[in-house]
Amino acid sequence: MARAFILLCDSVGCGGAPDAADFFNIDAATGESLPDTGSDTLGNLARWRAARGRPLCLPHLARMGLGLACAEATGEIPPGLELPGGAAVPQAAVGSAIETSRGKDTPSGHYEICGTPVDFDWGYFPRTRPCFPDALIKALVEACDLPGVLGNEHASGTAIIAELGDEHCRSGKPIVYTSADSVFQIAAHEEAFGLDRLYAVCEVARGLCDPLNIGRVIARPFTRVNSSGGTDDCSGYQRTGNRRDFAVPPPPGNLLDAVVEAGGAVWSVGKIDDIFAHRSISHRSKRDGLAALWDGTLEAAQAAEDGALIFTNFVDFDSKFGHRRLPEGYAEALEYWDSRLPALLALLREGDLVLWTADHGNDPTWPGTDHTREQVPMLFFGPAAPAGRRLGTSATFADMGATLARHLGLARDLPHGTALF
């Protein structure tokens, strides 16, 4: 029997998207809208590090062939990601993949990897202030008996909490904001406003956003610095690990659905459960931070039975370093992630297949604060992987899901994608 793993390092793209010129970031310094052409999360980060005399050090991923996967997308192996020790053959099957979904967002990337590309346009909110329709805010305030809202603009989550946190605590008005993604985000103090109340407000907002085709409503709870459970500094406040995403249900028939239909179990670690709207999830492990996400993944690897899919989203690359354009933090996080990989390799069983990939890019060296349109790397490794095989560039992320579906011997094909081996 077999098991499958998806280790998704959120936003760790590898450049080379053929349609990058159709996607944009706003340069904060000039206000200019700049195309994503040339964005390359792994490549630009590796070059940024090398220019400072501290090459990116990812020995385990490099040995798997990460540099070769990058070269499939851009024609160039980033500095520091060459096969170590003069090795001629990578330990993984390597390639890259092009996204066909129309967005460069989290749900689109995850859904396409699992065999169901998003073939429609998400709804987005305009870059105006206020940015949300008056009718939406009025309905939310009335339905939830709120004294009003704060924000109502495009903003960085940590920045707007730092700016409006005190006023929120005084007034009881939640902070609402959006980004270039299809999101409606609501930030509130866990104690002054109440965590359960925040979730209830998000549930109402989810229903109000459905007619607008908004992909996710996101609860962004925070506390004062030095309270327990904080994950990042917001100048006196800190967001906690109790984030919750209220997502549009994914298209039917995806890889998770197929695994459960076949009698297998889906183990969700991190925010996978939220992304897939809690559908076809057998075991949930909510974790916050790279160390805890790795711990949850290793626990699932020890416990999961044959026929299982273990799916982890390692979100910190995106949320803590990509959007904030912090290349050093991004590089250090990748190096930490790489240091934990041998522990998983030691737990793999005969027949296991691991996919390492991403859902989009978020180049920390790029202007702006939004995701970047990029290809993503594909590394298939473990006892069941055809080590050393060069997979080329897939025309859709869905080929990854199709490959895992074949590996698990699922009874039906996924809606999209072709198995790579």
Q: Which pTM value belongs to this model? A: 0.94
Across 300-312, average pLDDT: 98
pLDDT digits (tens, 9 = 90+) for 251-285: 999 999 999 999 999 999 999 999 999 999 999 99
Residue 215: pLDDT over 90: yes
**Pair 207, 263 in one domain:** no
Domain boundary among 247, 278, 298: 247
Residue 225: pLDDT band with limits 50, 70, 90: confident
DSSP 3-state assignment of 236?
coil
Token couple for 29: 């310094």
Is residue 402 located within the same domain as residue 259?
yes
**For residue 337, what pLDDT is reported?**
99
Has residue 337 been placed in a domain?
Answer: yes
Share of the chain above pLDDT 70, in %: 97
Residues 197 and 231 occupy one common structural domain = yes
Does 68 have pLDDT greater than 60?
yes
Position 230 pLDDT exceeds 60: no
Average pLDDT over residues 202-231: 88
Residues 218 and 100 in one domain: no
DSSP result, 41-63? HHHHHHHHHHHTT-----HHHHH
219 and 177 part of one domain:
yes
Residue 98 in this model has a pLDDT that exceeds 80: yes
Examine residue 123 and state whether it is found in any structural domain, yes or no: no
Per residue in 76-95, pLDDT (tens digit) is: 999 999 999 889 999 999 99
pLDDT at 232: 55
Residue 272 has a CB neighbour count (10 Å cut-off) of 22
Q: What is the pLDDT of residues 330-364, one digit of tens each?
A: 999 999 999 999 999 999 999 999 999 999 999 99
Q: Identify whether residues 255 and 112 lie together within a single domain.
A: yes
152 with 7, same domain: the answer is no
What letters, b where the CB count within 10 A reaches 16 and e where it falls short, cover 162-186?
Answer: bbbbeebbeeebbbbbbbbbbbbbb
**CB neighbours of 68 closer than 8 A, spacing ≥ 6?**
77, 83, 90, 94, 390
Q: Among candidates 364, 363, 393, which has minimal Cα distance to 378? A: 393
What are the tens digits of pLDDT across the range 363-421?
A: 999 999 999 999 999 999 999 999 999 999 999 999 999 999 999 999 999 999 999 99
Arithmetic mean of pLDDT, 217-245: 81
Can you give the CATH number for the domain in which 201 is found? Answer: 3.30.70.1250
Considering 197, 219, 247, which residue would you say is the last residue of a domain? 247
Q: Do 225 and 255 have their domain in common? A: no
| Residue 95, domain extent | 3-118+251-408
Look at residues 186, 217, 247 and tell me which one is the last residue of a structural domain.
247
SS3 at position 389:
coil
